[in-house]
Structure 1
């Protein structure tokens, strides 16, 4: 089992939306970064843990935990001409973009703020703190344990 951090803007889709979804499960889609896409397509597996990270909001930080319940499959939005993220170069037999399904496991009572994560020496090498913009990023086992130790 691996651990990941998935970034989202809660005004578009956040942990509260995941909590309200049927069976608290939703498609994690609309990723349009090649490195993040490659992680989703090639490395993210069923059973992997996911930290849900809220960005571009008042309370930036880790809001909870989810689990991958469906491995990578083509993101349907790439094929829909009416969708803002339609990709004319994507074809059904050769998709360019992928998504996974996640199920909520735990909403944290408080978001673990980015400033607290930055203050932890054991997280100094974390992708979030070195390459903050990546929407899907790996979390090492030591980083996962350090974050869960805050709770």
Structure 2
């Protein structure tokens, strides 16, 4: 199967691209609680897929860099922990509901690509993250949109 492209959003207080790059190892991308996104994780995401890492809830939301899905999707352990805010009493180890992936940092952009820049670029028309009302924390990215965002960041 061909490599897929994704955009993963995280709020500024939960995501620091510099720290991610310093760790230099895969980090869990967890606590997704939306069924559409869960289905993408469980059914479509594969190791080797590339990810645009997007920081939201900041004065200047932007794509800050690239990551790669490092392993097969697996059950999010928080769904089984009654003390977790992400606990789901309907989930069992035999029938998990929520899944997650690990993302390995690949590259931090020298020039982040802001939401405003993305909205202003007609080549990104139709990109899911730019659609009115989109609230998904993870979205698929078309190959041509991937290439455009990388070009905007000064990457190849």
Normalising to structure 2: TM-score of the pair? 0.91
For the Cα contact (< 8 Å) 2:67–2:103, is it kept in 1? yes
For the Cα contact (< 8 Å) 2:15–2:55, is it kept in 1? no
For the Cα contact (< 8 Å) 1:3–1:139, is it kept in 2? yes
Specify the alignment match of 2:45 in structure 1. Answer: 44
What is the RMSD computed on CA atoms of the aligned residues?
A: 1.2
Cα deviation 1:54-108 (Å, max 9, x = unaligned): 1111230101000001111000111111111111111110001000011000011
Q: Note if 1:127 corresponds to 2:116.
A: no
Q: After TM superposition, what 4+ stretches of structure 1 lie above 4 angstroms from structure 2?
A: none
Normalising to structure 1: TM-score of the pair? 0.94
Specify the alignment match of 2:145 in structure 1. Answer: 143
Specify the alignment match of 2:12 in structure 1. Answer: 10
Aligned pairs, how many? 150
Following superposition, the deviation at residue 26 of structure 1 comes to 0.4
| CA–CA separation in structure 2 for the residues paired with 1:143 and 1:76 | 33
Q: Which stretches in structure 1 are left out of the alignment for 5+ residues?
A: none
| CA–CA separation in structure 2 for the residues paired with 1:148 and 1:114 | 14
